[in-house]
Amino acid sequence: MMQRRHLLQGAGSLGLLSLAGCASDSLPTSAAGGAVPAKARVLVVGGGYGGATAAKYVRLFSGQKIDVTLIEPNDAFVSCPISNLVLGGSKTLADITTPYASLTKNHGVRVIKDMVASIDPVKKVAVLASGPTIAYDKLILSPGIDLMWDSITGLRAAQGEGRILQAWKAGPETVALRRQLEAMADGGVYAITIPEAPYRCPPGPYERACQVASYFKAAKPRSKVLILDANPDVTSKGPLFKKVWAEQYQGIVEYRSQHKATAVDAKTNSVKFEIQDDVKADVLNVLPTMRAGAIAVQTGLANANARWCNVNYLSFESTAAKDIHVLGDSIQIAPGMPKSGHMANSHAKVAAAAIVAELAGWEVNPAPMLTNTCYSFIDARSVIHVASVHEYVAAEKTFKAVAGSGGVSAGPTELEGGYAWNWARTIWADTLG
Amino acid sequence: MRLRSLSMLKPLAAAALITAAGPAAAQDAAALRQNALAATCANCHGTQGRAIDGAAVPGLAGMPAGYMVEQLKAFKAGTRPATVMHQLAKGYSDAQIDQIAAYYAAQKK
């Protein structure tokens, strides 16, 4: 062990290779034997839509010539998109889970199951929770979101007791919330509170309301779904969702805007609001204010409102630290750019290309493009979407939606339901396959 | 400015890329940009245009460039109906469409 620690801390170009045996048995033998020349090292922190895609595409764009290590604490990737269908009951957690093995097998990415405890942007090293130090030439940070527990009094304790859940990071908590819905008696009330934008997945809470309503309509028809939104109106696909609530879920879904939650009481299962009256519910799903993942905040990268990370949109390099590129939900978004899985996957490709260009000594692409397609299931089969294409506008140093592009569905269809499931399976393969 | 080839890489402090790039590698800055542009389609159509098993949308790898340009322009003009492609195609210039089509035509199915 001493020898391994010594090698890692030496931060030599071959230092990482000693760790490779822990996570990968499919490295080229020449690499394992240490015969290859020194290589550029990219360290990716976080294996979600942003980080896993970036790890894969740095390998693809460089012809497998750049050394890529991915640090991720979970055994497998669990998708947030589609996870609302687990609450609705038409999908299981297994349906939305993808292993990391293909990143190693197909692309030679070293995957290390660990957390990053700290990053030193000056020395260009990251320290893992288990102890080793890893040196990098480029660090890609894609830690997702952090829930700001203190934005709602009493929420951290209520969550800790398992009483008031969020399930805003898909996984065991998604299943726990489904169990609360199953245990609720017919005639009960499920209430979801939504924080002020920006938050992860703008249409997510509204899709979730539809999924719970779909379950109630079939299994507990006297029950109600209450949406308590801190925003002045539905933040995504508003007219489409409102039509579905008024028609398909008439008498089940009620939408109330201008409801900013400030406190919860786990004993009475109630929520307090800044202005409006308290609301009591049988199943409470309270979403607090969100910010960049903790490691980004801790590293001093959350320089927008102390919540999100400003980046140079040409390369997604942090404006606070050289050679650290921040992707996905953690960034300060450009106008019209949602915090979505598809968008994180798009960020990752732009960043991967920029990193390969920089390491090769080429000019970074001055005109990158991003896309976003976001499908929402309004029941087990029918879907509505919002889509957009974003171009870099050099004069304003930001991304903007291309004029005349993008749009939403005319209304829910099962045809789009088929495309939505196809989207999910394809983007999982594009991210991890 | 003439694009530098991989064999003329700037030496990096810690390391450098290897001269002989693999088959999928971008050989120069222009190819890298084309790869990244085409990758904006991969989220839905598959990495390097290779669709998943039982895909509901076409794989793009090996699609003849002329056909793909024609279809994307038809989506853009609204003459080919779609659920989402008519909205996405409007986000790309004709020059970008030509680059995307050339990239996918060159990919193995």
What is the tens place of the pLDDT at every residue in A253-297? 999 999 999 999 999 999 999 999 999 999 999 999 999 999 999
Q: Among residues B85, B99, B95, B93, which one has the least CA distance to residue B30? A: B99
Percent pLDDT > 90 in chain A is 91
Residue A333 confidence (pLDDT): 97
* CATH number of B98's domain: 1.10.760.10
CB–CB of A67/B25 below 8 Å?
no
Q: Average of pLDDT values for B65-76? A: 98
Q: Distance of alpha carbon A301 from its chain centroid, rounded? A: 18
For B97, list phi and psi in degrees, rounded to 5: -60, -40
Mean pLDDT of chain A: 92
The answer to whether residue A3 scores a pLDDT higher than 90 is: no
- Which CATH code for domain A2-146+292-367? 3.50.50.60
Residue A289 confidence (pLDDT): 98
Using one digit for the tens of pLDDT, what is the confidence trace for A297-345?
999 999 999 999 999 999 999 999 999 999 999 999 999 999 999 999 9
CB distance A137–B14 less than 8 Å? yes
Using one digit for the tens of pLDDT, what is the confidence trace for A124-183?
999 999 999 999 999 999 999 999 999 999 999 999 999 999 999 999 999 999 999 999
pTM of the model: 0.90
CB distance B44–A36 less than 8 Å? no
| B21 is a domain residue | no
CB–CB of A196/A229 below 8 Å?
no
Q: Among residues A230, A221, A234, A228, which one has the least CA distance to residue A184? A: A221
What would the DSSP string read from start to end of B14-54? Answer: S----SS--TTS-SSHHHHHHHHHHGGGHHHH-GGG-PPTT
The answer to whether residue B103 scores a pLDDT higher than 50 is: yes
> Which residues of chain A neighbour B24 with C-beta distances below 8 Å?
60-61, 63-64
The residue segments making up the domain with residue B33 are: 29-105
Judge if A2-146+292-367 and A149-288 fold alike in CATH terms.
Answer: yes
The answer to whether residue B16 scores a pLDDT higher than 70 is: no
Pull the structure tokens for residue A38.
């020194």
Domain boundaries of chain A, sorted by first residue: 2-146+292-367, 149-288
Q: Is A368 exposed, middle or buried (0-12, 13-18, 19+ CB in 10 A)?
A: buried
Which positions ≥6 away from A410 have C-beta within 8 Å? none
Residue A27 confidence (pLDDT): 32
CB distance B52–A425 less than 8 Å? yes
Q: Which of residues 78-107 of B touch A (CB under 8 A)?
A: 83-84, 87-88, 90-92, 96
Confidence of residue B17 (pLDDT cuts 50, 70, 90): very low
Among all residues of chain B, which has the CA nearest to that of A136?
B14
Structurally, chain B folds into a number of domains equal to 1
Percent pLDDT > 70 in chain B is 76
Residue environment code for A255-289, b if the CB has 16+ CB neighbours within 10 A, otherwise e: beeebbbeebbbeebbbbbeeeeebebbbbbbbbb
User: What letter would DSSP give residue A309?
Assistant: B
Closest Cβ–Cβ partner in B12, B36, B52 for A137: B12
Which positions ≥6 away from A323 have C-beta within 8 Å? A121, A124, A136, A137, A138, A139, A317
| B46 is a domain residue | yes
Confidence of residue B25 (pLDDT cuts 50, 70, 90): low
With an 8 Å Cβ cutoff, is A388 touching chain B?
yes
Tell me which residue has tokens 């949406």: A227
Q: Is A383 exposed, middle or buried (0-12, 13-18, 19+ CB in 10 A)?
A: buried
User: What letter would DSSP give residue A153?
Assistant: B
Q: Average of pLDDT values for A187-213? A: 98
Pull the structure tokens for residue A348.
């990752």
| B16 is a domain residue | no
Give the minimum alpha-carbon distance from A249 to chain B in angstroms, rounded to a whole number. Answer: 24
ipTM: 0.89
Superfamily designation of domain A149-288: FAD/NAD(P)-binding domain (3.50.50.60)
Among all residues of chain B, which has the CA nearest to that of A350?
B36
